[in-house]
Amino acid sequence: MQNRTIFMAGHAKLPQGMAAKSVFETLTITAELDCKYGVIIDASCTLATEHGRDFVGRLLRGYSLRDDYETLVKNFQEHYKGKAQNALLAALKDLHAQFEIHDAKKN
């Protein structure tokens, strides 16, 4: 049976004063992606609270890293108002870059 998903991660430095910084030096967004369209099946991150991790997952789920990257950036800018916003955007940018490298290799 062929696996139709891939698992990727994007990383960024955490700002000072974040609860997660006592555990992690970097913020990581992980995503399970549909191989064909780059749609995010499930996602999480290394924010300290379960609520924060769930919220980020909901912001990402269902969007394509191939086609919806700008929409994802806008969603984070409009809906995530925590201290980690810039780190999340940087991790999302890194995740997108990792996906583009993978996508270019398979085509």
Instruction: Report pTM.
Output: 0.88
Count Cβ atoms below 10 Å from residue 12 Cβ, excluding itself. Answer: 21
pLDDT of 16 > 70? The answer is: no
Count the Cβ atoms, other than its own, within 10 Å of residue 96: 19
Residue boundaries of the structural domains of the chain: 5-102
Question: Is a pLDDT exceeding 50 seen at residue 1?
Answer: no
Residue 90 contacts residue 26 (beta carbons within 8 Å): no
Contacts of residue 70, Cβ cutoff 8 Å, sequence gap at least 6? none
CA distance 93 to 62: 17
What is the Cα 80 distance to its own chain's centre? Answer: 13
CATH code of the region 5-102: 3.90.1010.10
Query: pLDDT confidence of 17, banded at 50, 70, 90?
Result: low
Tell me the Cα Rg of the chain.
Answer: 14
Q: What is the pLDDT of residues 20-76, one digit of tens each?
A: 454 557 889 999 999 889 999 999 999 888 999 999 999 999 999 999 999 999 999
Given this model, what pLDDT does residue 83 score?
A: 85
